[in-house]
Amino acid sequence: MHVSRLGRIAAVTASLFAVASAPAAPPPLVPGAEHIVIQREAGVWSNFPIIYQLPDETRTLSVQFGARMTASHLEPRSDRMNFVSTDGGRTWTKSPRAEPNPAWATGPSRPGRLVKPDAHAWRYVEASRRAEFEARGIEVRNSPDGRVTYAYGCYVSTSEDGGATWEQREIEVPAKGLIMTYHDPASYLRLDARTILRAVYGKPVANIRHYEVWLLRSEDDGATWNFSTLAADPEKKRSYGETALVQAGNGDLVAMMRTEPSLGSKMWSTRSADRGRTWTKPVETPLLGHPAHLLRLRDGTLLCTYGHRDAPIGIRAAFSHDHGRTWPEDEIVALRADGATVDSGYPISTELADGTLVSVYYLTRDGITGVEATRWLRPHR
């Protein structure tokens, strides 16, 4: 009798544990989505696309990405590809021009002026110079072409003629082990004619696993810059990496951050109520994947598109109706769920005049890594 009762308790406990540990069902595919291939070529790794909606009469879409010789993210042998669409992303034509991001523009007060802050990211030197950079406390890695590479330093590019010519100068930053950049449409935010923010990330010292997010901020249209910490774990148990920024409808700034380990981790978020001067303590979101792009839709809803690298691999989208404080899990949808390897993701999205959403990303399927787009509509609540 006693053994039987213990057996029933064990069975119930095992059943409850199985239910609790069962993986969540994948979100539904967004209905009516239209998928378009921009470039897929065997033996070429086309990845990391960005998309801009240009301020011309046709609202031309400009997509730019790299076409690499190998799948290594340290690969320097890469061609920059430019495509444009004048029909809302249905068809794409190769273009010789890399269009500047309209968000870089100062505005009517200084027509033609563009300001783009950034981190240098991977810079390549001969292998004989490894010791030189390591002696400066800078992390050095091997490049696929036999050289070595390091990621250090920030700069600002300015143009006074709409991007025809550029002037570049260094931004003074504190000593770090590694400083990396993330996609411009995600991590760049211009608040007005004078205030510009750019999120970068990296390692405070070389050769550790811990990453932090830092913020370049200017209040004089790029003349001077402040370098501050946006998010860092004081216990160094969690890394914060590639970060997307957006201004919510209530004026708050919202940041969505990639966390590590890269597989099985949810993104974390922080916010600022004082235009990026200070940020709240990061909180975990229900969004499993990385990295993110944040877009404020015309009705004020925040859209977060992000890569999902656990099975089923693909691209997902989530929505916030309270200025980025919550992201209801029952509203998450999948744009794609047919990726073959984790080397997929990095979506960037834009909203067309008729409410159609166009998301670009890279996806590995059938042994080819290519850049694709999805035209879709936000599902009704």
Helix (H/G/I), strand (E/B), else coil: 106: coil
Average pLDDT over residues 105-118: 97
Is 90 exceeded by the pLDDT of residue 8? no
Give yes or no for a contact between 283 and 305, defined as CB atoms under 8 angstroms apart. no
pLDDT at residue 6, as a whole number: 39
- What tokens appear for 215 in the block? 């913020």
What pLDDT is stored for residue 237 in this prediction? 84
pLDDT score recorded for residue 114: 98
Length of the chain in terms of residues written = 381
Query: pLDDT value at position 260?
Result: 80
The closest of 345, 325, 318 to 283, measured between CA atoms, is 325
Q: Which of 181, 185, 217 is nearest to 295 (CA)?
A: 185
Predicted local confidence at residue 14, as pLDDT: 41
pLDDT digits (tens, 9 = 90+) for 21-43: 456 789 999 999 999 999 999 99
Decide if pLDDT at 262 tops 80. no
The Cα–Cα gap between 364 and 40 comes to 9
Residue 1 confidence (pLDDT) above 70 = no
Q: Report the largest interatomic distance among the alpha carbons of the chain, rounded to a whole angstrom.
A: 88
Q: Is residue 10 helix, strand or coil? A: helix
- In this model, does residue 249 exceed pLDDT 50? yes
Give me the pLDDT at residue 314, please.
Answer: 97
pLDDT of 311 above 60: yes
- Residue scoring higher pLDDT (21 or 214): 214
The CA distance from 34 to 376, in Å, is 6
Cβ atoms of 83 and 218 closer than 8 Å = no
Residue 15 vs residues 2, 21, 25, 93, 113: alpha-carbon distances, Å: 20, 10, 18, 56, 64
Question: How much is the mean pLDDT over the chain?
Answer: 93
The answer for residues whose C-beta is within 8 angstroms of residue 142's C-beta and 6 or more apart is: 74, 127, 148, 149
One-character DSSP codes across 189-244: EE-SSS-EEEEEEEESSTT-S--EEEEEEESSTTSS-EEEEEE--TTS-SEEEEEE
> Per DSSP, what are the bridge partners of residue 256?
244, 269
Q: What is the pTM of this model?
A: 0.93
Q: What is the pLDDT of residues 61-92, one digit of tens each?
A: 999 999 999 999 899 999 999 999 999 999 99
SS3 4: helix
Q: What is the pLDDT of residues 39-66, one digit of tens each?
A: 999 999 999 999 999 998 889 999 999 9
CB atoms within 10 A of CB 74: 17
DSSP 3-state percent helix, strand, coil across the chain (nearest 5): 10, 45, 45
Is residue 4 pLDDT above 60, yes or no?
A: no
Closest CA to 203 of 181, 179, 226: 179
3-state secondary structure of 266: strand
Percent of the chain exceeding pLDDT 90 equals 88
Q: Is the confidence at residue 163, as pLDDT, over 90?
A: yes
Segment 228-248 shows an average pLDDT of 95
- Strand pairing category for 154-159 and 167-171: antiparallel
List the domains of the chain with CATH numbers.
34-96+183-376 (2.120.10.10)
DSSP characters over 26-85: PPPBPTT-EEEEEE--TT-EEEEEEEEE-SSTT--EEEEEEEESSS-TT---EEEEEEEE
Q: Is the pLDDT of residue 361 over 70?
A: yes
- Please give the helix or strand (H or E) that residue 185 lies within, else none: helix 184-187
Nearest to 371 by CA among 173, 82, 25: 82
Q: What is the pLDDT of residues 144-160, one digit of tens each?
A: 999 999 999 999 999 99
Mean pLDDT of 329-357: 96
Burial class for 18, CB neighbours closer than 10 Å (0-12, 13-18, 19+): exposed
**Closest by alpha carbon to 370, among 37, 36, 98?**
37
